[in-house]
Structure 1
């Protein structure tokens, strides 16, 4: 009986350590970094329990994707709530219809309190016409 309790205790410890390591990896690890260029169509605050900022970027490929609707030429992205300057820059770019370069990171997983997409904008650079 004591042997079974030791095995059960060690199995539980190993499971908790493994779960914590996997959760930490998925939460903090960055899969990809890059730049998306286009015009910000919208930036909105969404959610009932967890408020997240979600946006849509028109990549303006000017019909280079033959037979594809203009909706397919947009990219969805998220912005973390603590990135207030990025949110303000996105709102002003959307209102002015300016072309921008969005610096982003892509994460492995989504979490409801963080955003709906795996793409998170971390910087906005307005391009000159």
Structure 2
């Protein structure tokens, strides 16, 4: 009787933990497209080497303290080697990147909750823009 109770309790706890892990780290919270000039694409990390990048978007936004303006930046991670290779050699070009947003960060997936999974468009920067 007690063994059956412990088994059911353990099963319920494992299912709850598995559901929580899925919800926070594998369930896509949102997805969309961001456009901007690629500032950099790098491979970095102490244990897990991940691909990271940053887009500089047109326009300005408020700083976190609300006291000034800063450029809009989109920091992202990339899981796919082939996407990273394209970004790596095209810094300074304008990109439209499709991304998926997760609630949590996994160290082997990247340093951000935004994972770029597709390059929709790449074009040269027009003089006088951005």
Common fold: TM-score over 0.5: yes
Shorter-normalised TM range: 0.7 to 0.9
Structure in which a larger fraction of residues adopt strand? 2
Aligned CA RMSD, in angstroms, stands at 1.8
Q: Kindly state the Cα deviation for residue 109 of structure 1 after the two structures are TM-superposed.
A: 1.4
Cα deviations by residue, 1:21-79 (Å, 9 ceiling, x for unpaired): 33233333111111111111111111111111111111121xx4363133xx2111001
Structure in which a larger fraction of residues adopt helix? 1
Aligned residue for 2:84?
Answer: 87
Cα deviations by residue, 1:88-108 (Å, 9 ceiling, x for unpaired): 1211221xx111111111112
The answer as to 2:65 corresponding to 1:65 is no
Aligned residue for 1:33?
Answer: 31
TM-score by length of 2: 0.81
TM-score by length of 1: 0.81
Structure 1 residue ranges (4+ consecutive) displaced by more than 4 angstroms after TM superposition = none
